[in-house]
Amino acid sequence: MTFVRTVARLTMMALAAAVFIGLITLYAHSFGPPSPRERERRNSEPQLKSLPTLLQQYLVFGAIALAGRKILRLRLTLR
């Protein structure tokens, strides 16, 4: 029973994801052709010297969460 329920939930999740994937694929097709001269290059190896930027990322994440907490605590109501 649990297995069937889990499969049903995974199917619903996959269907919802498929809707968004369909929409984003349509959006991707609206892009013009990229410049074939400039290849995208990303470092394959981890670089520990970039640790401060990761810490900055956590700070940014925390700042957005705190700001969201302050704003969303206003408890807006439609009534």
Partner 1 sequence: MKVPPPRLKFTFSLNLVLLLTVCALEQIPFTGAILHEWLGLTFAAMIVVHLLLSWTWIAAQSKRVFPIQSARALMNYLLNLSLFAAVTTSIYSGITISQEAIPSITKTTRPVLYHGSAWVSIHDQSSNFVIALAALHLALNWDWSVAAGRTIFRRLKAGAP
Query: What separation in angstroms does the CA of 35 have from each of 2, 28, 29, 31, 42?
Result: 51, 16, 16, 12, 17
Binding residue (CB under 8 A) for partner 1 from 1, 4, 26, 35: 35
Angstrom distance (rounded) from CA 34 to CA 20: 23
Binding residue (CB under 8 A) for partner 1 from 3, 9, 15, 26: 9
Residue 51: what residue type? L
Q: Which residues bind partner 1 (CB under 8 A)?
A: 6, 9-10, 13, 16-17, 20-21, 24, 27-29, 31, 34-36, 38-40, 42-48, 50-51, 53-54, 57-58, 60-62, 64-69, 72, 75-79
